[in-house]
């Protein structure tokens, strides 16, 4: 068997298109564009790349992008004051503070200052709580994107065995919560799990969010499993290469022979994250404007 490659890039492009069309409708109804504010503190090169792509994608979807670039030595008081200003700004529907922040700033304190109704990253404890008790709020973009790929492929997940490897607040835990809400039987594995290969073997759905290159081996997988690989790991450069290859947490070449479907890295989960961020921002805009959120979002 050769597993079907789940094309996250194509799915994300469709989602961005749909969000773009609905963003135009929103503009007609609300008399303004939906707006996303992104705050970047310091000059971390990876964060600069992320912020640039978020800006481009926001504008391409017909939304307003407000970028705030602050120097690395910005005080916490100044950053909190900017967040307060964005909370109060009616043109801003979503606020994203790019993490990690420089060491002298407390990520949690800054996230806590964002209005939960503008927290399109879904990192605020209020949104984590809403997800836990089944209220509508904002769900972190990466696990929500994984869930869209899973339901697109599998439809109803009721009764399926799902194993999530990783328990971070931004991927593993919300992923498990979403799978539980979809009536899967969910196991969360982590670094202290005994017999990880044995745990993974019973899964119809495997979501790997670990950060260890090609850790999950073909022989760990149940025949026909659906595999979602969240990991992004750069291998050391091989001879003649300037940069090492990007790989996921799953040994793709091996897993292809056992799984029924698998996301590649790159081109799987990665592109979904920004597309879902745009979706969350548009949902925030509808809610903030007191308009009904279209079903298809
Ligand atoms: P974290 O480092 O926060 O969490 C990693 C998790 O993996 C932890 O729960 C840890 O367990 C677990 N873990 C570590 N080693 C093992 C092991 N040997 N066996 C089983 N579990 C283990 O990472 P994130 O959740 O933030 O990210 C995970 C991966 O996903 C990374 O590669 C990251 O780059 C990628 N990522 C990709 C995104 C995308 O857009 N595609 C977005 C976000 C992340 P414990 O809790 O016990 O320490």
Indicate if ligand 1 lies below 6 Å from the C-beta of 187.
no
Tokens representing 32?
A: 């303004």
pLDDT tens digits, one per residue of 180-206 = 999 999 999 999 999 999 999 999 999
Residue 1 has pLDDT above 80, yes or no: no
The full set of domains in the chain, from first to last, is 31-115 (3.40.50.10860), 141-271 (3.40.50.720)
State the Cα–Cα distance between residues 114 and 95, nearest whole angstrom. 7
CA distance 272 to 292: 24
Q: What is the mean pLDDT of the chain?
A: 97
| 109-123: average pLDDT | 98
* 267 touches ligand 1 (CB under 6 Å): no
Identify which of 168, 208, 217 to mutate to test ligand 1's pocket (most ligand atoms within 8 A of the CB). 168
* H or E element in which residue 143 lies: helix 141-154
Q: 135-177 pLDDT, tens per residue?
A: 999 999 999 999 999 999 999 999 999 999 999 999 999 999 9
145's CB contacts (< 8 A; 6+ apart) are 8, 12, 269, 272, 273, 275, 276
Regarding the beta carbon of 283 and ligand 1, being less than 6 Å apart is answered no
What is the residue whose two structure tokens read 């081109």? 267
131-138: which pairs have CB atoms within 8 A and are 24 or more residues apart? 131/174, 131/177, 131/178, 132/177, 134/181, 138/280, 138/283, 138/284
Task: Out of 54, 118, 119, 173, pick the active-site residue.
Answer: 54
Tokens of 251: 């040994």
What average pLDDT score do residues 48-63 get? 97
Alpha-carbon distance values, 187 to 120, 122, 214, 291 (Å)? 27, 22, 20, 38
What residues contact 52, with CB distance under 8 A and at least 6 apart? Answer: none
pLDDT at 108 > cutoff 80: yes
Catalytic annotation present for 121: yes
pTM: 0.97
Closest CA to 121 of 151, 95, 82: 95
Q: For residue 116, give the 3-state DSSP assignment.
A: helix
Per-residue pLDDT of 239-257, as tens digits, reads 999 999 999 999 999 999 9
């Amino acid at each position: 068997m050769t597993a079907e490659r789940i094309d996250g890039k194509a799915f994300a492009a469709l989602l961005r298109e749909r969000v773009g069309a609905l963003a135009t409708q929103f503009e007609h109804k609300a008399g303004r564009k939906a707006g996303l504010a992104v705050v970047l503190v310091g000059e971390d090169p990876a964060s600069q790349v992320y912020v640039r792509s978020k800006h481009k994608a926001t504008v391409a979807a017909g939304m307003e992008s407000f970028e705030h670039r602050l120097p690395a030595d910005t005080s916490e008081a100044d950053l909190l004051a900017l967040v307060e200003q964005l909370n109060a700004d009616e043109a801003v529907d979503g606020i994203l503070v790019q993490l990690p922040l420089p060491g002298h700033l407390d990520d949690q304190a800054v996230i806590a200052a964002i209005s939960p109704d503008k927290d399109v990253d879904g990192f605020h404890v209020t949104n984590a709580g809403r997800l836990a008790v089944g209220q509508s709020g904002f769900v972190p973009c990466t696990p929500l994107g994984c869930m869209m790929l899973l339901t697109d492929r599998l439809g109803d997940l009721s009764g399926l065995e799902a194993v999530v490897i990783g328990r971070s607040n931004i991927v593993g835990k919300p992923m498990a919560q979403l799978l539980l809400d979809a009536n899967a039987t969910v196991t969360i594995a982590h670094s202290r799990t005994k017999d990880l290969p044995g745990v993974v073997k019973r899964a119809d759905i495997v979501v790997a969010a670990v950060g260890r290159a090609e850790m999950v081996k073909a022989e760990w997988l149940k025949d026909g499993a659906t595999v979602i690989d969240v990991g992004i790991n750069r291998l050391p450069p091989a001879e003649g290469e300037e940069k090492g290859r990007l790989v996921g947490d799953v040994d793709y070449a091996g897993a292809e022979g056992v799984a029924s479907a698998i996301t590649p890295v790159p081109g799987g989960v990665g592109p979904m994250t920004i597309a879902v961020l745009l979706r969350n921002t548009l949902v925030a805009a509808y809610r903030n404007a007191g308009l009904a959120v279209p079903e298809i979002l």
